[in-house]
Amino acid sequence: MAGDMFRLDGKIVAVVGAGGGIGEAVAVAAAAQGAHVACFDINQASAAAAAATITAAGGKAEAGAMDLGDEAQIEAGLSGLVKAHGRLDGLVCTPAINVRKPILQYSLAEFDKVVDLNLRGNFAALMVAGRIMTAQKSGSIVLFSSIRSIVTEPGQSVYSMTKAGILQLAKTAATEWATQGVRVNAVGPGVIETPLTSPIKNNPDWYNAYAMKNPMNRWGQPSEMAGPTVFLLSDAASYVTGTIIYADGGWLAADGRFTPPGM
């Protein structure tokens, strides 16, 4: 039994943001561990491509469009899984955006854009999944926070605020739903090579500075976020709720870039 606790065989898992980056990597990994994965994305073609990758490898998957700004669409997508499969065992929600600007250059329209997706959108998905899972008395929800929930830098005000909010949202939901068999956790990536961070990769000085900030001296890959996420979805994490796993290459453990002589 111990050897199977990390498996997801027979579980119905929805991954929002599965059309690329971390979401796609998580969807592929969950399917490889035996889950039936519903790949959702605002871009339905990208979601379908992720599902096709899974089925081509022998996994079970389906796809659909999901805009986190549309509660009715979230409801239809997640409730549809319950109607088709009888339950919803897991939800992973990865979408986020960032507008990098100093506070004094930010517009309230830009503020609203970031907050609407990163906080309102994730809250909506959590709420819909929570209704389903508390009714069935089981389920695991994984939201995506960031190292920016703890540390920040110039130009990251609103993004950091939302990622801290995601962590507190996960903690609160965990406390509300624990007695109903629903676990809620977060994953906190460090610097990961995704479409969201592509502008940094195009600037060698910026890219290398981030790489050298963590003890591993490199960026992470989307596939490296899949392990922590699959763990939180699995029965191996049955007593884990209301917390965050930082997968950051040691970024938060290091307080500087200088290695003392002789070390």
Which residues are known to be catalytic? Answer: 159
Structure confidence by residue, pLDDT tens digits, 162-171 = 999 999 999 9
Q: How wide is the angle at C-alpha 73 spanned by C-alphas 126 and 8, nearest 5°? A: 50
Name the residue type at position 142: V
Interval 15-47: pLDDT, tens: 999 999 999 999 999 999 999 999 999 999 999
Please give the structure tokens belonging to residue 244: 């965050």
pTM of the predicted model, to two decimals? 0.95
Query: Is residue 31 within 8 Å of 60, Cβ to Cβ?
Result: yes
Helices marked H in 178-242: 198-201, 204-213, 226-233
**Domain spans of the chain?**
2-248
In 3D, which of 28, 33, 36 has the Cα closest to residue 60?
36
Contact call for residues 68 and 42 (beta carbons, < 8 A)? yes
Per-residue pLDDT tens over the stretch 158-196: 999 999 999 999 999 999 999 999 999 999 999 999 887
**pLDDT of 215 over the 90 cut:** yes
* Residue written as token pair 């508390």: 134
CATH architecture of the domain covering 2-248: 3-Layer(aba) Sandwich (3.40)
52 contacts 128 by C-beta, under 8 angstroms:
no
Q: Which two tokens stand for residue 231?
A: 């763990």
The contacts of residue 41 (CB under 8 Å, 6+ apart) are 16, 17, 18, 19, 20, 23, 47, 50, 63, 65, 66
Percent over 90 (pLDDT), the chain: 88
For 151, 155, 178, 244, 252, the CA distances from 255, given in Å and listed in that order, are 11, 20, 35, 20, 7
**pLDDT digit string (tens) for 40-81?**
999 999 999 999 999 999 999 999 999 999 999 999 999 999
pLDDT at position 146 over 60:
yes
Per-residue pLDDT tens for 228-241?
Answer: 999 999 999 999 99
Q: What is the pLDDT of residue 201?
A: 83
Give the residues across from 90 on adjacent strands: 13, 140
125-147: average pLDDT: 98
- In whole angstroms, give the CA distance from residue 63 to residue 18: 9
d(CA 198, CA 156): 16
Q: pLDDT of 85-106, one tens digit each?
A: 999 999 999 999 999 999 999 9
Contact 36, 61 (CB under 8 A): yes
pLDDT above 70 (res 2) = no
Orientation of helix 21-32 relative to helix 44-56, angle to 10°: 30
